[in-house]
């Protein structure tokens, strides 16, 4: 019946950091005394779903956890099984880092079943380590090494966001503009989205440290505590980045408001200059008798000179009042 199974990877850990690939028939014939079995599946594959539901021998809740479409980072113990739902930064080409990739795991002392929909680079690195003979030797070490790589990539992403925000803050002092406002909004959205999953993932790590499973040794829990502390630092860095991004947005809004005020000020000065000129030209433009200078050939020139003197006087007055 296992021939229906089409795993992404089927490996038998040798307990020394290496692994050998297994065929579906060998997976069907596997026994716990042979070593730790690791099946990595695509939960959207029909054959994988059928095998999990009908032939895996896992409890129903474990199968539902492995096939869940939407998950949040968490850890739970079900009999002798440990259920994990973790998320990693999406480093696939053309993807946004905050669009995190989820992986679901069901682990026992001798068997590991993991499922995913999109490729996770941390899993790829684990597989490379196994090929080189320096990978996890058992289920406990796989948890530690997988989480270590997930947090490592999270730290790299946080550093990249920090560098991007530093460049934006520098450009903010030189050439603020509409594109920069969009960049700051995007960066702030990324920090909020990443923190949304970082915090519950740390809670899952902390919960792991308190679980009582025979194959979760004290050394494993101490390693998970160290990983949890590193993740906490990344969460604190994200909080700081979010605050800095908010301050950058406020600074951009302040600069935009200042530019608007300057433009309104210039328009106000222009209006103040032309208000008396418009009043005089409008007054002298009415079609009634008795307009001064109507019979004087030099009246127009004199009127222009008077307007020029008035404008000069207004500018002198504005400077004296320090309006200009």
- Evaluate if residue 106 carries a pLDDT over 90: yes
Mean pLDDT of the chain: 84
Task: Give pLDDT tens digits for 111-163.
Answer: 999 999 888 888 888 999 998 989 898 998 999 999 998 888 888 888 888 88
Tell whether 144 and 171 lie within a shared domain: yes
Q: What is the mean pLDDT of residues 212-228?
A: 85
Task: Give pLDDT tens digits for 262-299.
Answer: 888 888 888 888 888 888 888 777 777 777 777 777 88
Q: What is the mean pLDDT of residues 94-115?
A: 83
3-state secondary structure of 39: strand
CATH number at residue 104: 3.30.460.20
Tell whether 81 and 38 lie within a shared domain: yes
- Of 203, 232, 255, the one marking the end of a domain is 255
Tell whether 166 and 141 lie within a shared domain: yes
Q: Cα(184)–Cα(324) distance, rounded to whole angstroms?
A: 34
Tell whether 33 and 104 lie within a shared domain: yes
Give me the count of residues in the chain.
324
261 within domain boundaries: no
- Of 210, 233, 255, the one marking the end of a domain is 255
- Evaluate if residue 94 carries a pLDDT over 80: no
Q: Read off the tokens for 152.
A: 């490592």
3-state secondary structure of 76: strand
Tell whether 251 and 286 lie within a shared domain: no
- Evaluate if residue 201 carries a pLDDT over 80: yes
Range of the domain at 7: 2-255
CATH number at residue 287: 1.20.58
263 within domain boundaries: no
User: Look-up: residue for tokens 């993807």?
Assistant: 95
H, E, C per residue of 77-103: EECCEEEEEEEECCCCCCCCCCCCEEE
Tell whether 99 and 175 lie within a shared domain: yes
Rounded to an integer, what is the distance from CA 93 to the centroid of its chain?
Answer: 15
66 within domain boundaries: yes
Query: 0.75 cut: is pTM over it?
Result: no
State how many domains the chain has. Answer: 2
Sheet bearing 9-13, strands edge to edge: 19-21, 9-13, 36-42, 111-116, 101-107, 81-88, 74-78
Q: Cα(30)–Cα(57) distance, rounded to whole angstroms?
A: 13
Q: Read off the tokens for 277.
A: 């000129």
Partners of residue 41 on adjacent β-strands: 115
């Amino acid at each position: 019946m296992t021939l229906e199974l089409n795993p992404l990877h089927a490996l038998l850990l040798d307990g020394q950091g290496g692994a050998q690939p297994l065929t579906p028939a060998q997976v069907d014939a596997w026994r716990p005394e042979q070593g730790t079995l690791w099946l990595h599946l695509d939960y959207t594959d029909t054959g994988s779903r059928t095998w999990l539901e009908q032939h895996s021998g896992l409890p129903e809740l474990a199968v539902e956890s492995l096939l869940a479409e939407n998950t949040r980072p968490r850890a739970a113990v079900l009999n002798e099984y440990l259920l994990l739902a973790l998320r990693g930064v999406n480093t696939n080409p053309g993807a946004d880092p905050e669009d995190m990739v989820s992986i679901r795991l069901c682990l026992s002392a001798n068997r590991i079943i993991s499922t995913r929909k999109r490729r996770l680079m941390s899993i790829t690195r684990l597989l490379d380590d196994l090929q080189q003979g320096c990978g996890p030797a058992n289920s406990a070490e796989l948890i530690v090494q997988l989480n270590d790589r997930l947090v490592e990539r999270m730290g790299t992403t946080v550093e990249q966001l920090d560098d991007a925000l530093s460049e934006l803050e520098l450009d903010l002092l030189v050439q603020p503009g509409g594109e920069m406002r969009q960049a700051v909004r995007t960066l702030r959205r990324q920090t909020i989205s990443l923190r949304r999953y970082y915090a519950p993932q740390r809670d899952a790590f902390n919960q792991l440290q308190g679980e009582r499973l025979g194959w979760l040794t004290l050394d494993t829990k101490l390693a998970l505590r160290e990983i949890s502390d590193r993740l906490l630092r990344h969460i604190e860095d994200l909080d700081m980045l979010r605050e800095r991004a908010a301050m950058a947005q406020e600074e951009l809004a302040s600069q935009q408001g200042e530019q608007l005020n300057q433009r309104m000020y210039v328009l106000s000065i222009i209006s103040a200059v032309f208000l008396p000129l418009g009043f005089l030209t409008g007054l002298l433009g009415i079609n009634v008798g008795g307009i001064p200078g109507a019979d004087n050939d030099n009246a127009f020139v004199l009127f222009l000179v008077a307007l020029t003197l008035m404008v000069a006087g207004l500018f002198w007055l504005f400077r004296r009042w320090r309006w200009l």
